[in-house]
A and B are shown apart, each in its own frame.
Chain A
Amino acid sequence: EAGVTQSPTHLIKTRGQQATLRCSPISGHTSVYWYQQALGLGLQFLLWYDEGEERNRGNFPPRFSGRQFPNYSSELNVNALELEDSALYLCASSLAGSGNTIYFGEGSWLTVV
């Protein structure tokens, strides 16, 4: 069974541009989570989607946004890129409801130059 898949693996953007990252959850999972992991730092929660709705948002500016599609896949958009947005962006998925295991993808590396 396929795990959480993310694309692209690597992305290089210029400051001020927009980046779009994509995620396909494990089949049957309706909840999708996005995390940012900057170099040497811990995982910071960005967004949680379930059944197409944004359920919770971390302490990030509004230029970080996303959506979940009817097939439960998701995309993360980062507008007006800043150098400090350079990080590994991790997508995860789980069955609906708390207490279920949350599985992560391999991440998308975003480099802003």
Chain B
Amino acid sequence: EDQVTQSPEALRLQEGESSSLNCSYTVSGLRGLFWYRQDPGKGPEFLFTLYSAGEEKEKERLKATLTKKESFLHITAPKPEDSATYLCAVQDTGFQKLVFGTGTRLLVSP
């Protein structure tokens, strides 16, 4: 069965203090690894999809990377508006559904 584990559960950063979030996964055949951002009480907002090991994608202060076992979401010089829960999910080749991790709650203080 597909499994996704995210760490840390919560992360507190000062504005400008770069860090990385981890997503470890087990899947029979990876079709895609997805990153979402979720604000309290809202639906997840799509950030990135990564399809193969070695792939990287960037958007503003965020950069996602993928290996055969894990993905990292690097946050460079974060701002308070980056505070949110970041969710990782995998899609295997058998089904279109996403299997989610429990997320990392990020708080960036000014």
Contacts and interface: CB of A to CB of B under 8 A. Distances in A.
Interface in B63-108: 87, 89, 91, 93, 95-103
A61 interface: no
A94 B96 CA distance: 9
Contacts of A88: 41
B49 interface: yes
Interface stretch (A69-77, A78-86, A95-103): A95-103
Interface string A49-83: 01000011010000000000000000000000000
A24 interface: no
A99 B101 contact: no
A96 to B, nearest CB: 8
Interface residues of B, number: 25
Interface string A33-58: 10100000111010010100001101
Which residue among A33, A43, A88 has the maximum number of chain B CB atoms within 10 Å of its CB?
A43
B43 A104 contact: yes
A108 to B, nearest CB: 10
A29 B87 CA distance: 23
Given A43-B100, A45-B97, A90-B43, 15 more contacts: A4-B43, A33-B98, A41-B102, A42-B87, A42-B102, A43-B87, A45-B98, A98-B96, A99-B91, A101-B46, A102-B46, A102-B98, A104-B43, A104-B44, A104-B46
Contacts of B51: 99
A98 B49 CA distance: 12
Contacts of B43: 4, 90, 104-107
Interface in B23-50: 31-32, 34, 36, 41-46, 49
A100 B46 CA distance: 12
Nearest to A47: B97
Nearest to A106: B43
Given A98-B91, A99-B31, A104-B36, A45 B99 contact: yes
